[in-house]
């Protein structure tokens, strides 16, 4: 389960920290607010390829960090690698 997502210098996002620790989380907003960009950042965490065109400022580093909780208390890297093999 995704607990937290932190994004810096990605597309129109300067810096955002989203807490997903509640039972139900809904992302809403007007057109152009950045909902799809948040989902795109999460896709990068899950293994999608990056597109340099979405970087807000190429002189600054883009930073995307996600915190996950697993019921099995395993290393998340092992969990993701196992999932890729399926």
- Reported as a single tens digit per residue, the pLDDT across 43-61 is 999 888 988 888 777 788 8
Give per-residue pLDDT as tens, 32-41.
898 999 999 9
Give this prediction's pTM: 0.74
What local confidence, expressed as pLDDT, does residue 16 receive?
95
Please state, in angstroms and rounded to a whole number, the distance separating the CA atoms of residues 67 and 54: 22
Please state, in angstroms and rounded to a whole number, the distance separating the CA atoms of residues 17 and 23: 18
Please state, in angstroms and rounded to a whole number, the distance separating the CA atoms of residues 15 and 66: 14
Which residue shows structure tokens 């896709």?
43
Domains by residue range for the chain, with CATH: 2-84 (3.40.50.300)
What local confidence, expressed as pLDDT, does residue 6 receive?
97
3-state secondary structure of 42: helix
Please state, in angstroms and rounded to a whole number, the distance separating the CA atoms of residues 85 and 54: 29
């Amino acid at each position: 389960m995704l607990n937290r997502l932190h994004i810096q210098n990605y597309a129109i996002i300067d810096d955002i920290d989203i807490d997903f620790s509640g039972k139900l989380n809904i992302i809403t907003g007007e057109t152009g607010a950045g909902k799809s960009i948040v989902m795109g950042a999460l896709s990068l965490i899950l293994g999608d390829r990056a597109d340099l065109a979405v970087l807000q400022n190429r002189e600054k580093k883009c930073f995307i960090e996600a915190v996950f909780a697993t019921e099995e208390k395993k290393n998340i890297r092992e969990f993701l690698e196992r999932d890729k093999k399926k």
